[in-house]
Amino acid sequence: MSKIFKINFDFYKAAFFMLLFFVIPSFAFAAGINDLKQDLENQIKQKQQEINQHQQNIQETQQKSKTLNNEIQILESQIDKIRLEVRQVDLTIQKSNLNIQEIDGQIGDLTERVDEKKDLLAEYIRTVAYYDQETFLEVILKNDQFSDFFNQISALESVQEEIQSILGVIHEIKDKLTEEKNELEDEREEQNKLKSFQLVQQRSVEGIQWQREDLLDKTKGEEKRYQQLIQGAEKDITYIKEQLSLLEKYNLTLDEAVQYAIFAATKTGIRPAFLLGVLEAESRLGLNVGTGNYKKDLYQCYMSLGYITRATKEKNAFIQICEELGLNPDTQPVSAEPWYGCGGAMGVAQFMPATWLAYRDDVAALTGNNPPNPWNHKDAFMAAAIKLSRGGANQRTEIGERTAYAKYLGGSNYSKWVYHSVTNYVINLTNKFQQQYFN
């Protein structure tokens, strides 16, 4: 057997055993992960059924006569419903952790495959280099028969073909590796949203519990006192308008928020109540809004996660925006780095810098501000409205609005968000704003 054929055989044999070593455990690992994910998915669906039942109970009770007992029942059903939603989000976060674990494993496997291919490639290159040291005449003279010479030439050509093939495989694996890393980033950002939403839910439970205790305290549990409390009162205890949390975070008046929403919604064909619902949700979910710096919470964060291209792209976009507006990027606030993922979102609409640049010209055309400013409320409302309109909110239907907000959250991965609790939350806010300000 010629030397080159022996090298080929040895490497293929080694590659086969390495395949058995790595792939079989991977299959077992993947099967275990899939079973756990399916179990969590079943629990999530069960919680959704229980949530739907509580929502139905709330709606049925609201249609009954307004009594103290019914009002307490509504509040208690709301508390139970939100607690179920908290548990559902917790299950979803557990499933997300499994996804992250699975993606991390896939990234590790791909990295090992690249290293293996590089080792094999190095051996083939050494083989070619060895034969390149001999002259054509030397190769002929050291072979007793011309058939040996031609076999050697053929084997050498096969090695060169293998080198090209391995280079192609390495390129494909690296592309897959980049794809997996992007998926991991999306999963972590989704988990951040879920954890923020869970905190909002927990605070909602505390707020409703306070309402319940306050109501019982004021009425002493007596129906007569409850009826006296609500009779002709403009500030009905169960329908007091909540202050928008974005007013506190962004120095907006209620009238300004409503007017900006009407202006942007009219220009883009969406409902102003839906725009308010989205921005209010983003404000409440964005617990770290306006407390970060682009160097630490945006650029350095993405660099530390290995997303060098995105880090550079977002940093350059942010500096460009600040330069166009005459702002100092070092002191201009952005959202701080959350639990997972990175910060860097700007203004009330929470746009990332690169995303803002993609909408900049369209915003300028509709507001007349050129260049538009992501920290200007009028421009920010308009940018959000444009994005939501393009996502399907211009249909002015619930499914259109759900899809639009899902795309606002998840981009190309929007399908996993359409019927998620966070999307339900926005729809509920929208319905409240529609009733309070626009009906």
* pLDDT greater at residue 398 or residue 194: 398
> Which two three-digit tokens encode residue 291?
């407390």
Compute the distance between CA of residue 412 and CA of residue 349 in angstroms, rounded to an integer: 19
pLDDT in tens, 152-190: 555 555 656 666 776 777 777 777 777 777 777 777 677
Q: What is the pLDDT of residue 398?
A: 93
Q: What is the pLDDT of residue 255?
A: 87
Q: What is the pLDDT of residue 418?
A: 72
Compute the distance between CA of residue 61 and CA of residue 65 in angstroms, rounded to an integer: 8
Compute the distance between CA of residue 351 and CA of residue 334 in angstroms, rounded to an integer: 10
Phi, psi angles (nearest 5°) of residue 67:
-120, 165
The pLDDT-based confidence of 57 (bands split at 50, 70, 90) is confident
pLDDT in tens, 41-50: 788 778 778 8
C-alpha 112, offset from chain centre: 28
Residue whose C-alpha is closest to residue 169's, from 126, 119, 128: 119
Full DSSP string of 269-309: TS-HHHHHHHHHHHHHH-TTTT-B-IIIIIIIHHHHTT-HH
Q: Domain locations in the chain? A: 3-230, 245-438
Query: CB 105: neighbour CB atoms within 10 A?
Result: 15
* pLDDT greater at residue 151 or residue 83: 83
Q: Assess whether pLDDT exceeds 60 at residue 342.
A: yes
Compute the distance between CA of residue 2 and CA of residue 351 in angstroms, rounded to an integer: 64
Q: What is the pLDDT of residue 21?
A: 43
Q: At what angle do helices 254-268 and 377-391 cross, to 10 degrees?
A: 40
The pLDDT-based confidence of 314 (bands split at 50, 70, 90) is very high
Q: What is the pLDDT of residue 400?
A: 95
CATH topology of domain 3-230: Helix Hairpins (1.10.287)
